[in-house]
Copies of this chain bind each other. A is one copy, B any other.
């Protein structure tokens, strides 16, 4: 999703291929022999692997339109710091809400609410994490928005009650075609999470 949002922000046309991860294609194995994971962006015949790497690459390969980073070194390191926060703290916490149960789930919920409050405070009154323009941290975080309904359902809480500004930010991001066209439907995610819970935890 991050890769698609990034490419659409730059106005780059691309062919989107969905792979069967239970039976990985020769193209995937050859393009990402180390991790054998998606996403892989193939540009000029060369593979770029890992979603954040792809976003970074897209920004540097198409630098003229909608830059994802500010131009000053401090602004750039600030964006990388928050991106790392999303990729580690936020990402680990959210998984525990829909992928775990009992004590671990409760712990995840607590960590998630804490992460969301920290992010809300970092967002402050800016329209985007990047300031006035949609950037790197926005791309990283907005791709989780499709999952919010699942967090609320399986975690039994309201995210908006905890962090109204973050929800306002997400809704504004969703007005961008680059985002709305790239994110899956929340209902499908809830169904996917329910199926996952049934299979791996023995309960919805």
Contact = CB atoms under 8 A, between A and B. Distances in A.
Interface of A: 34, 43-44, 46, 48-50, 53, 56-57, 60-61, 73-74, 76-77, 80-81, 84-85, 118
Q: Count identical subunits in the complex.
A: 2
At the interface, is chain A mostly helix, strand, loop or mixed?
A: helix
A61 to B, nearest CB: 4
A81 B46 contact: no
A53 B73 contact: no
Given A50-B84, A81-B53, A60 B34 contact: no
Nearest to A118: B34
Nearest to A71: B60
Contacts of A73: 57, 60-61
A56 B85 contact: no
B53 A80 contact: yes
Given A50-B84, A84-B50, A56 B34 contact: no
A34 B84 CA distance: 12
